[in-house]
Amino acid sequence: MSITRISGMLFLLLWVLGPAPALCAQTDEKVQAFAASTNEETAKNYTNAIQIMKTINEKYHSDYLISLRLGWLHYLSKDYESSIRYYQEAEKISDNSIESLLGITYPYAELKKWDQIQDVYNTILSKDKLNYAANLRLGQIYYHRANYVLAKKYFTVLYEQFPSDYETNLYLGWTYYYLGARSKAQFHFVNAMSMNGSDTSALKGWGLTK
C-alpha cells in the first residue's frame, strides 16, 4: 500500500473520530469559564469574574483571550496596574494585536500616564496608519497642547477616510480656527452642525467665523 494511500486513510480516520478528548475538555472548560465570568461581570461582581479567569489562566498559559479579558476585568475593578500588566501580556502573546494596545490606554488614562498613551497610539499607527482611534486621540492630544499643526495632520487623515464624521469635523473646525484659516474652519463647523444640529460647540465656532 502506498504512503499516500496510508496518509489518506489516517486523515479519514482522524476526521471520523473527531478531536482528541483532551482538546474537547479544554475547549469546554474555556468556554464555560468565559460564560461564567461574563455573568459575574454583568452582575458587577468583578472580583468573582477575575477569579474565574485566573483559575483557568493558571491551567492554560499564553492564551491571548484570557490575558485580554483579565486586563479588561482589572480595569473595571479599578486595579489599573494589574490591568496594564495583563494587557501587556496579551500584547506579547499576539504582538500584531491592536485591540490589546487600545485596551491598555484605558488604565493609562485613569493613572494620567499621558506620555505612555501617546507612545501606544504611535505604536498602533506603526501597525495601522489609518487607525481611527489612534489618529483621533493623537489629534486631540496635540489639539489640547495647542499644537494645531500636528493636530491637523491626524484629523486630516481621519477626514479623508470619514468626511461625514461629526467629531472629526468639529475638531478640524476648531483646529483651522486657531490656525487662522477661517473659511476652512467654517466649512467643518457647518459639516459638524449638519451631523449634530444641537451641538453648541460647532454653533459657537460657526458664529466666530461668519
Full 3-state SS string of 76-128: HCCCHHHHHHHHHHHHHHCCCCCHHHHHHHHHHHHCCCHHHHHHHHHHHHHHC
Point out the residues of the chain with pLDDT beneath 50: 1-4, 6-11, 13, 16-17, 20-23, 25
Q: What is the pLDDT of residue 9?
A: 46
Q: What is the pLDDT of residue 91?
A: 95
Q: Report yes or no on whether pTM surpasses 0.85.
A: no
DSSP 128-159: -TT-HHHHHHHHHHHHHTT-HHHHHHHHHHHH
For the chain, where do the domains classified as CATH 1.25.40.10 start and end? 23-111, 129-210
- Name the DSSP letter for residue 197: T
Q: Is 112 left (phi over 0), alpha (psi -120 to 50) or beta?
A: left
Q: What is the pLDDT of residue 59?
A: 83
Q: What is the pLDDT of residue 11?
A: 47
The CATH-assigned architecture of domain 129-210 is Alpha Horseshoe (1.25)
Q: What is the pLDDT of residue 10?
A: 44
| Domain 23-111 CATH superfamily | Tetratricopeptide repeat domain (1.25.40.10)
Convert the pLDDT of each residue in 157-203 to its tens digit.
Answer: 999 999 999 999 999 999 999 999 999 999 999 999 999 988 899 99
